[in-house]
Amino acid sequence: MPQAALLPRDVDLPLDLRLPRVGAVDAVALEARAGELAKRSIKKASKLAALDLAIRMMDLTTLEGADTPGKVAALCAKAMRPDPADASIPAVAAVCVYPNLVAVAKKRLAGSSVKVASVATAFPSGQSPLAVKLADVREAVALGADEIDMVIDRGAFLSGRYAKVVDEIVRVKEACGSTHLKVILETGELGTYDNVRRASLLAIAAGADFIKTSTGKVSPAATLPVTLCMLEVIRDVHDETGRIIGMKPAGGIRTAKQAIQYLCVLKETLGTAWMTPDLFRFGASSLLNDVLMQIRKQRSGAYQSGDYFTID
């Protein structure tokens, strides 16, 4: 990912100036706007383009205690060639795994465009000492991860210890070196959109390349309004500083229809400039097959049963 060009390290948000003016979010109006955008009717060529893009933006994910090298190998095959029957289907952006499986994924994906993302920092709770979290990150990077998905310390955030939250992200960013950093806010635990906005700004100020909604382990995970709220923060940061931050909604996005709704929100909030895998990702495990099914429906005019799409 060409992050060096996009995200210069020398531009800093003036955090001390910024924090007193975090700004507010009106929940009713935010949800109403997301609801309006969800009703966009996307047809024909624009639907196909959206579905193709959704695949290229996908972080195909498996984060289970039961993950094995075999499971991850299968996922990697799917990531590189999502539809064995159709070579025109692009590869996904990345696979997302636990650190222990980074090496397997790296080997399987060698030579392809698909990146390896690893969760780290005592994922999913983040409730470990900083030294453990940093070691977690360093190990994942050493094993070859291209991208690190860290979690923020929600315990610190919700008790008002924002400096600790920022500090940790700064340290993790250092540990990442040139590895791309996504910061998971776990919005389902933050309780309000005001908190989501505040946490987004903290993460960006501390050096996040991407901000990400959820671990997928907490319900609700990604929602359309919460994504809109975070995209508005990204827009404000770009307006004020020129910094370009990416966005990753993760968890709960299971259908092609949902994915298209997210793309509509993205287009009408940040514009088509953000419609690239470099700046927008879907974290999902079961979305891909529905997208493949819809593409085939769109092309052939008929739905095919689930048996025509591989389960990996």
Partner 1 sequence: MAAKTPATRAVPSPLEWEYAPAPEAREIVRLEERYGLFIGGERVAPRSRKWFATTSPATEEHLADVALAGARDVDLAVQAGRGAFEDGWSTLRPAERAKYLFRIARLIQERSRELAVAEALDGGKPIKESRDVDIPLAAAHFFYYAGWADKLEYAFPNRKPRPLGVAGQIIPWNFPLLMLAWKIAPALACGNTVVLKPAESTPLTALIFTDICRQAALPPGVVNIITGDGSTGAHLVKHPDLDKVAFTGSTEVGKAIRRELAGTGVKLTLELGGKAANIVFDDCALDQAVEGIVNGIYFNQGHVCCAGSRLLVQESIYEPLVAKLKRRLRTIRVGDPLDKNTDLGAINSRMQLDRIRELVASGEEEGAEMYQPPCVLPEKGYWFAPTVFTNVAQSSRIAQEEIFGPVLSVLTFRTPAEAVEKANNTPYGLSAGVWTEKGSRILWMAERLRAGVIWANTFNRFDPTSPFGGYKESGFGREGGLHGLEPYLRFDR
Q: How many CB atoms neighbour CB 85 within 10 A?
A: 11
Question: Which of 173, 193, 177 lies closest to 185 in space, CA to CA?
Answer: 193
CB of 25 to partner 1, least distance (A): 5
CB of 136 to partner 1, least distance (A): 32
Please state, in angstroms and rounded to a whole number, the distance separating the CA atoms of residues 204 and 308: 42
CA-based diameter of the chain, in Å?
Answer: 57
To the query of whether residue 248 is one of the catalytic residues in this protein, the response is yes
Q: Report the residue from 9, 242, 300, 305 that binds partner 1 according to the rule CB under 8 A.
A: 242
Q: Does 293 bind partner 1 (CB under 8 A)?
A: no
Nearer to partner 1 by C-beta: 279 or 292? 279
Nearer to partner 1 by C-beta: 259 or 279? 279
Here's the x/- map for partner 1, 33-72, by CB under 8 A: it reads as x-----xxxxxxxxx-xx--x-------------------
Strand partners, 284: 60
E strand or H helix that includes residue 58 = strand 58-61
Here's the x/- map for partner 1, 178-207, by CB under 8 A: it reads as ------------------------------
Q: Does 30 bind partner 1 (CB under 8 A)?
A: yes
Q: What separation, in Å, do the N-terminal and C-terminal C-alpha atoms of the chain show?
A: 26
Using CB atoms within 10 Å of the CB of residue 269, give its burial: 0 to 12 exposed, 13 to 18 middle, 19+ buried.
Answer: buried
| CA distances to 41, 174, 233, 241 from 34, in Å | 14, 35, 15, 26
Q: Report the residue from 110, 142, 163, 273 that binds partner 1 according to the rule CB under 8 A.
A: 273
To the query of whether residue 149 is one of the catalytic residues in this protein, the response is yes
- From the list 146, 149, 278, 312, the catalytic residue is 149
The string of DSSP letters for 96-163 reads: EE-GGGHHHHHHHHTTSS-EEEEE-SSTTT--S-HHHHHHHHHHHHHTT-SEEEEE--HHHHHTT-HH
Question: Which of 167, 164, 122, 120 lies closest to 145 in space, CA to CA?
Answer: 120
**Part in contact with partner 1 (CB under 8 A); list of ranges 139-147, 157-165, 240-248, 294-302:** 240-248
**Part in contact with partner 1 (CB under 8 A); list of ranges 29-37, 75-83, 154-162, 289-297:** 29-37
Q: Report the residue from 153, 186, 209, 232 that binds partner 1 according to the rule CB under 8 A.
A: 232
**Part in contact with partner 1 (CB under 8 A); list of ranges 79-87, 145-153, 210-218, 263-271:** 263-271
Q: Does 239 bind partner 1 (CB under 8 A)?
A: yes
Q: Does 26 bind partner 1 (CB under 8 A)?
A: yes
CB of 41 to partner 1, least distance (A): 4
112 Cβ partners below 8 Å, 6+ apart?
Answer: 79, 80, 91
Please state, in angstroms and rounded to a whole number, the distance separating the CA atoms of residues 246 and 161: 25
Q: Cβ(288)–Cβ(55) under 8 Å?
A: yes
To the query of whether residue 71 is one of the catalytic residues in this protein, the response is no
Q: Does 168 bind partner 1 (CB under 8 A)?
A: no
Which residues contribute to the site for partner 1 (CB under 8 A)? 6, 8, 11, 14, 17-18, 21, 23-26, 28-30, 32-33, 39-47, 49-50, 53, 232, 236, 238-244, 263, 267-268, 271-276, 278-279
Catalytic (active-site) positions = 149, 212, 248
